[in-house]
Amino acid sequence: YCGMVAIVGRPNVGKSTLLNKLLGQKVSITSKKPQTTRHRIMGIHSDGPKQIVFIDTPGLHIEEKRAINRLMNRAAASSLADVSMVIFVVDGMTWTADDEMVLQKIKHRNDDRKIVLAINKVDNIKDKEALFPYLSELGKKFDFDDILPISANKGTNVQRILELAQTSL
């Protein structure tokens, strides 16, 4: 048995880094320059009890004033159709209008798909107390199934994400 899990978030939050860490290899290009990933990248995790296809989903933040953007956005949204869990990746230091846009796109789907908030780059945060106000604000915006502080670079809590992905299938 197998299933799919989507990784979503605005550019530069660490989606590709997380995908690579989850898979234990470099399948997706990571970069300081936003929008390095222009199309979907998928990778299969087969070490657990069930196989999981992880999908790195760029483009959910794009404003829809232009037809081409609506098209790109629809492509991104359609890759969410069959997943059992969405990993919403944010940067622990900053919340932006693009994060808000991605959240709007994923939260209106009324089905039993899990939505996990992954607060990334916590290795950058010296004062861990600074995370708490951020967390409670996000908790008010949406009732996430799980909230995890992670470091995609260092691998912090990445195993926990794998466990959640396994149980979501």
The CB-of-153 to ligand GDP minimum distance in angstroms stands at 4
Q: Does 153 contact ligand GDP by CB under 6 A?
A: yes
* Binds ligand GDP by CB under 6 A, chosen from 4, 6, 8, 13: 13
Q: What's the CA gap between 42 and 62, in Å, rounded?
A: 20
Window 55-94: contact mask with ligand GDP (x via CB under 6 A): ----------------------------------------
Residues of span 31-90 touching Mg ion by CB under 5 A: 37
Burial grade of 118 (CB within 10 A; 0-12, 13-18, 19 or more): buried
Is the Cβ–Cβ distance between 9 and 15 less than 8 Å? yes
Cα separation, 30 vs 2, in Å, equals 26
Is 14 one of the annotated binding-site residues? Answer: yes
Chain positions 93 to 152 lying near ligand GDP, rule: CB under 6 A, are: 120-121, 123-124, 151-152
Of 76, 129, 79, the C-alpha closest to 98 is 76
CB of 73 to ligand GDP, least distance (A): 16
In the list ligand GDP, Mg ion, none, the entry touching 14 (Cβ below 5 to 8 angstroms by class) is: ligand GDP
Contact 12, 85 (CB under 8 A): no
Residue 92 CA to its chain's centroid (Å): 13
Nearer to ligand GDP, 53 or 169 (CB): 53
In terms of Cβ atoms closer than 10 Å to its own Cβ (0-12, 13-18, 19+), residue 85 is buried
Instruction: List interacting residues with ligand GDP (CB under 6 A).
Output: 9, 11-17, 30-32, 36-37, 120-121, 123-124, 151-153
Give residues in contact with Mg ion (CB under 5 A). Answer: 15-16, 37
